[in-house]
Structure 1
Amino acid sequence: MTQSNESKYFDLHTTGIGYLNRIREVEVRKGKPFICVTVAALHGSSDDMEYSYIDCKVSGSEAERLVLLHSPEVSAGKKVLVAFKIGDIWADAFTYAKGEKQGKPGASLKGRLLFISWVKVDGETVYQAKPRDDQEAPQDDQAQPTDTAPQTPKAETPSAAVAEPDAYYAP
């Protein structure tokens, strides 16, 4: 039996539709800064949808371009809805540093934003990716919410001082 030098990976991809929030550049002590975004992913019935917030390091080059392009619109409070592919989702435990939940444990979802297949700003389609054979992100014909895009609550954001998250997700 010969052993190959080729590495094998197991991909865990999450696809869905969600709103962009908290776009920021993260500086690290050693290495190049990177872009992070919180995706408020929609799930549940379209009559009573819920949000799961996923903090993402933007990994795909086209995804990074799109996130940065629409950052001013997110900052201005516009609803920026995207169809996304997030890779390698995981949970990160932390302790709330302030607010009602100060001192209590919490958890946040983390991942890598790999791909954006379309973007809508205030309901208008402004970007549509070219079709790919392996594209699994939701198609534009799925139900689209019309309510206000959620914002990540400030009190719900983990504190670097208490939780000491790794530099990968430092605010």
Structure 2
Amino acid sequence: MNASSSTQASHFNLHVSGIGYLNRVRWVSPKQRGRSAEPFLACSISALRGNAQAPDYTYFDLRVSGQEAAELVEKCMEDVDQDRKVVISFKVGDIYPHQYERDVKENGRKTGEKEMACLIKGRLLLINTITVDGARVYEREAAAHAEPGADDHADDIPPQGSDDSVLDGGEQSQDEPAPASAEQARPVQRIQALAPANAPRPSLSRHRTGARETATA
């Protein structure tokens, strides 16, 4: 994690790099009106930290920012919807904590009780590598990377644990735009250059079998 300042833009950048599982790729339609009401592409990442043999997870719920990142996430949507293990090395920015209420579950069943949970919201800025079911399907050319070693284990990480249940329940109603960045170039307009949400999407692993179910926001 690093913080830097730009004297020209008078804006502080807070960037986080890591490796994690890509989940919940979807289009979000905000409840606000005006320009902020335009649909945007979002995803969740279960980022790994700690012991490589038994890692813990930090959960990010992100708005995809930038044409390149949006195109790559769109291409991963089919694989995510079909429950393939999609692992990415990434950079996110403008992070902030988000607290929400969720259902308490026991053995996968709701108990009728509620509890508070927390995740991190922000913007997905950059994807360096993508691995689907253990096979590397994408590597960014410019990724002779800003942070050496960040991708060393992207193809060999343990299965995702059950801790991702933190994303279940109440959080799904909490989709909201991340805070605006001073260097933002209207990401909604850039995302609109992609195919409509209901149009067939290219896939990084289209040769794999199985049909994608339509994702809902």
**Alpha-carbon distance in 1 for matches of 2:18, 2:152:** 13
* TM superposition shift of 1:91: 0.5
Q: Output the amino acid matched with 1:107.
A: C
**Which residue number corresponds to residue 47 of structure 2?**
41
Query: Could you tell me which residue of structure 1 aligns to residue 171 of structure 2?
Result: 158
- In structure 1, runs of 5+ residues without a counterpart are 1-5
Aligned to 1:23: 25
Runs of at least 5 residues in structure 2 that lack an aligned partner in the other structure: 1-7, 105-109, 179-216
Q: Is the 8 A contact 2:52 2:157 kept in 1?
A: no
Q: Does the 8 A contact of 1:96 with 1:159 survive in 2?
A: no
Percent identity reads: 32
Q: CA deviation at 1:156?
A: 5.1
- What is the DSSP-based 3-state SS (H/G/I as helix, E as strand, rest coil) of the residue aligned with 1:130? coil
The range that moved more, 90-99 or 117-126, is 90-99
**Whole-angstrom CA distance in 2 between matches of 1:63 and 1:137:** 20
What TM-score do the two structures reach when normalised by structure 2? Answer: 0.65
Write out aligned runs for 1:2-81 (5 A). 6-29=8-31, 30=33, 31-81=37-87
Code of the aligned partner of 1:16: G
Deviation at residue 89 of structure 1 after TM alignment = 1.4
* SS in structure 2 of the partner of residue 64 of structure 1: helix
Q: 1:76 to 1:150 in 2, by over 3 A?
A: farther
Do the aligned partners of residues 102 and 146 (structure 1) sit closer, same or farther apart at CA in structure 2, a change above 3 Å counting? same
Q: Mark the CA change 1:143 to 1:104 in structure 2 (over 3 Å): closer, same or farther.
A: closer
Alignment partner, residue 168 of structure 1: 177
- 1:88 paired residue among 77, 88, 94: 94
Quote the offset at 1:100 in angstroms: 4.3
TM-score relative to the length of structure 1: 0.80
Rounded Cα–Cα distance in structure 1 between residues aligned with 2:125 and 2:118: 22
